[in-house]
Amino acid sequence: KSLTVVGLGYIGLPTAVMFANHGYQVHGVDINELAIEKLKQKQLHIEEPGLQEKLAEAIDSGSLTFDTVPKEADIFILAVPSPINKDKTPNLTYVESATQSIVPYLKKGDLVILESTVPPKTVENVILPVLKETELEMGTDLFVSHSPERVIPGKLFEELVNNDRIVGGINEESSQRTVELYRTFVKGTIHVTDATTAEMVKVIENTYRDVNIAFANELAKISDGMGINVWEAIDLANYHPRVNIHKPGPGVGGHCIAVDPWFLFDSSPELAKIIQLARHTNDSMPKYTVESVESIFKNNEITNPKVTVLGLAFKGNIDDMRESPSLDIIHHLEEKGIEYVAYDPHIKENQLKRQTQDLHEAVKGSDLLLILTDHDYFKQLDANELKDLMRCSIIYDTKHCIDTNSWEQAGFSTYTLGS
């Protein structure tokens, strides 16, 4: 069977590769010409463990092709971004244009699956009206469903196979055909529901996480003021069989957790109160982090300080800095006129004004190491070596990821968010 995947980002590309390596003839489509050119030459435009080998395997076997335009297939998967606008309203232009782009290639009996996360009722109000242009009968000639991706970057292939999956068809047959497709490689349970419920399920999963992290961040602020170690308190509370508090941090990044709650808010602004407050709490963390840095400098009587920003990716061991709290933190540092240099071993090209690929250059003459991402690389830094390069030796860990004792032994003053 043939399959066309529209959108070759963090979800679309691994999905295309998986189907290509499991018996499907797959055609991958993206509007990014540069990405397509690279992919044709087996080069990746994103970082994900295992992807490189699986991509090469699929291309070598002839079961995966790439282009900037779709082509006819039995199944179409849409995996394009669904971001929010500046005013926090959903931006469904990519979802809409991706759907539009496949219309000329659809034929009787085809199946269309939307994997992008979308506000509840998008299939009904946005996708179906576009697909109706084919004049095919929805649910009998053309089968449509929503099966939201739920994988986490960094562990993508493991989760693609082992996670449970939600399938919500516009009717029974659409769901059944979609279940059959994912059965190809999904080992988790596939749960069937309707399209709108599937949309809701995905959005509430990420909103649950956002609200929970906001709670943790609020606890961190409270603990900071009281000299309590929030990390220890949360760990101990989580021994309770019905408690699962997430971790505080410098903010919530990525294009999912910081975005999807706004989809719910947009649906019911008067009702989504906790959801809105949680978003604001998490969005307050970058500013809070910089204010904490300022007070560390004040307490240590450091003037004209220089900060080393360690970590630009929105979370550990990945190369993705979209919506990263680090960017907001840098913005606040600049606004306050605090000098900084940023370093991230996973972000291979300099994308910021004051970014370097050289750790020593980033640390040279610095007063404070500001850990914003829990990359494994940062957990193994050599405190003694870095101390010699610095002016003052302070480390502020917003992720609670370093071994404070060894840094203190090396002569560092250590600070942790929420303690």
> Are 258 and 323 within 8 A, CB to CB?
yes
Based on CB atoms, which residue is closest to ligand SAJ, 90 or 249?
Answer: 249
Based on CB atoms, which residue is closest to ligand SAJ, 73 or 371?
Answer: 371
> Exactly one of 54, 247, 256, 399 is catalytic; which is it?
256
Q: Which residue in the set 70, 168, 253, 311 belongs to the binding site for ligand SAJ (CB under 6 A)? A: 253
The contacts of residue 135 (CB under 8 Å, 6+ apart) are: none
Q: How many CA atoms lie within 13 A of 140 on its CB side?
A: 3
Question: Between residue 303 and residue 342, which ones bind ligand SAJ under the rule CB under 6 A?
Answer: 314-315
Chain center to CA of 48 = 12
Residue 359 CA: distances (Å) to CA of 12, 19, 145, 262, 387: 33, 40, 47, 37, 13
Based on CB atoms, which residue is closest to ligand SAJ, 65 or 206?
Answer: 206
Contacting range for ligand SAJ; rule: CB under 6 A; set: 41-49, 79-87, 202-210, 287-295: 202-210
Nearest approach in angstroms of CB 91 to ligand SAJ is 15
187 is catalytic: no
> Are 35 and 9 within 8 A, CB to CB?
no
Based on CB atoms, which residue is closest to ligand SAJ, 83 or 139?
Answer: 83
Is residue 309 within a helix (H) or strand (E), and if so which, with residue range? Answer: strand 306-310
Which positions from 349 to 378 touch ligand SAJ by CB under 6 A, shown as an x/- string? ------------------------------
221 near ligand SAJ (CB under 6 A): no
Q: Which residue in the set 51, 130, 152, 302 belongs to the binding site for ligand SAJ (CB under 6 A)? A: 152
120 near ligand SAJ (CB under 6 A): no
Which positions from 78 to 117 touch ligand SAJ by CB under 6 A, shown as an x/- string? ---------------------------------------x
Q: Going along 139-206, which residue ranges are E strands? A: 143-146, 165-169, 190-194
Is residue 371 within a helix (H) or strand (E), and if so which, with residue range? Answer: strand 368-371
38 near ligand SAJ (CB under 6 A): no
Structure tokens, 122:
């998008």
149 near ligand SAJ (CB under 6 A): yes
> Are 334 and 327 within 8 A, CB to CB?
no
Please give the Cα distance from 122 to 338 (Å, whole number).
Answer: 44
Query: What phi, psi does 318 have (nearest 5°)?
Result: -130, 170
Total binding residues for ligand SAJ by CB under 6 A? 20
**Rg of the Cα trace of the chain?**
23
Residues that bind ligand SAJ in the complex, under the rule CB under 6 A: 117, 149-153, 205-206, 209, 213, 246-247, 249, 252-254, 256-257, 314-315
Catalytic residues: 202, 256
